Amino acid sequence: TLIAAQTPQLSTSQPLSPKVPVEVRLLHEANYKQMSRQQAKRMQEERELRQNCTFKPNISKTSRLLDKNDRPLHERVWQLQRDRQQRLMQAKVKEELSNPDLTFKPIINEKSQKIAKDRAGEGKNVAERLHEQSEISLYRKLTKVAMIESERAKDESFQPRINPNSDKILEQSEKFAGKDFFDRQNEYQFKKLKLSSENLNEFSFAPDIRSAEALLPPERRSESYLDRLERLAYRDKDQIQTVRDSIKEQYYSQFSFKPQLNEVSKQLGQAHSIQELYEDTERKEKMQRLIRAKEEELEQECTFRPQTYRPPKGLENESSQQSLNCLQPQVSYEKSRYSIDVRDTETLIERMKEKQRSKIEQAAQERRRKEYEELKECTFTPQILRQTPRPSSAPVLVR
């Protein structure tokens, strides 16, 4: 069948030489094992099919004769494709010849006909004539290249000079006497290969790589690709974790020491609930006590108290009050209206809005005060008629 014919034949040759690199040998062995598993699985499936599928069709004698005389499809597929292309080409040529629109017919030149007849009369076949023509064209091409190089050499007058000592060394050398550059390079290459082969012979160590067929269980030899992926992803992982846990338990089971706590330590180390650990009230109270103690200590050290003055009762004017404030500044221990306690986050926004409103109101009062001061200097008062004049009944004179 076609499937059996396309199946690659398994290599039954001897193992590769130890001189071959390890990775190459491992690759070949892995391919051989994979192919052997596939072949064993295929043979097992074929045996099961033969046992289960007992139906045999009745084939006519003509079909059997044709099957015996004809090659398999995979062997004659290229011939069938070639025949099909040839039939298509013949049909295309026939169609073009029968087409009345295609009236062009090329005419061969008389000189070309004469040259073809002369060459055909020489008695040479087509292959020999084509070979001679290719040699002639190659000769012409090389001649043209040589002419171009000679013309270029006339313009390029530089010629390198070889050291006489180098020529003397080559003449006295027994190995390179009478040899050109290419021969010497070949000699060096051969020497390099010889040294590399000698080094490979020195490394005679070949690791003993056992075949995994004897170690693998029977169910793994016939497992599919998806089964292998599932085993490597899940089952092997769980098995490794189980082995690790057992090793860990076995290792720590040998340490039977258990520390005993003192009764006093048990009483001191009281268990705390999660709520107590979350609130951490003890630490907060301790911090508050430390802050209050630091403030009291600071008040005891700073004993200065400034003396404050109040403005006289008669000076209610704003200007005199400002001048008095400049001469005698008032000092108060009350909170400044510009101070902001960042710790009091609940009323911070409200206090900021209140300060903004007070600033706007102060600015409006200052603007009204300035307008009033400017209007005090304006003493002109126009006379306005309080009564409207009565309409006159006399005629209007028009001049």
State mean pLDDT over 201-209: 72
DSSP H/E element including 158? none
Q: Are 129 and 119 in contact (CB under 8 A)?
A: yes
pLDDT at position 274 over 50? yes
pLDDT band at 1 (very low <50, low <70, confident <90, very high): very low
Q: Which of 39-53, 255-269, 309-323, 355-369 has the highest mean pLDDT?
A: 355-369
pLDDT at position 74 over 80? no
pLDDT band at 241 (very low <50, low <70, confident <90, very high): very high
Token representation of residue 243 = 């082995």
Position with higher pLDDT, 160 vs 339: 160
Using a CB cutoff of 8 Å and minimum separation of 24, what contacts does 261-264 make? none
Domain boundaries, the chain: 166-197
pLDDT band at 5 (very low <50, low <70, confident <90, very high): very low
pLDDT band at 27 (very low <50, low <70, confident <90, very high): confident
Half-sphere exposure of 144 (CA within 13 A, CB side): 6
Half-sphere exposure of 33 (CA within 13 A, CB side): 15
Distance CA 325, CA 328 (A): 5
Distance CA 386, CA 380 (A): 18
* Phi-psi label, residue 178: left if phi above 0, alpha if psi -120 to 50, beta otherwise: left
- Please state, for a pLDDT cut of 90, what percent of the chain lies above it: 16
pLDDT of 108: 87
Across the chain, mean pLDDT equals: 77
Q: Which residues lie closer than 8 Å to 358 by C-beta, 6 or more apart? A: none
Distance CA 82, CA 94 (A): 18
Q: ∠ CA(81), CA(82), CA(83), 5° rounding?
A: 90
Of 106-110, 127-131, 386-390, which gets the smallest average pLDDT?
Answer: 386-390
State mean pLDDT over 176-192: 82
- What DSSP state is assigned to residue 336? P
Q: Which of 13-22, 60-69, 128-137 has the highest mean pLDDT?
A: 128-137
Buried b (16+ CB within 10 A) or exposed e, 316-337: eeeeeeeebeeeeeeeeeeeee
pLDDT at position 277 over 90? no
Position with higher pLDDT, 329 vs 168: 168
Distance CA 151, CA 312 (A): 121
pLDDT of 70: 66
Sign of the Cα pseudo-torsion (341, 346, 351, 353, in order): positive
pLDDT at position 18 over 70? no
pLDDT of 361: 92
State mean pLDDT over 52-79: 75
Of 72-76, 103-107, 132-136, which gets the smallest average pLDDT?
Answer: 72-76
State mean pLDDT over 100-109: 84
pLDDT band at 244 (very low <50, low <70, confident <90, very high): very high
Residue type, 216: L
292-332 pLDDT per residue, tens: 999 888 888 888 777 776 655 554 455 444 544 444 444 44
112-128 pLDDT per residue, tens: 888 888 877 667 777 88
Position with higher pLDDT, 365 vs 171: 365
State mean pLDDT over 186-214: 77
Of 137-151, 171-185, 186-200, which gets the smallest average pLDDT?
Answer: 171-185
pLDDT band at 7 (very low <50, low <70, confident <90, very high): very low
pLDDT of 384: 73
pLDDT band at 289 (very low <50, low <70, confident <90, very high): very high
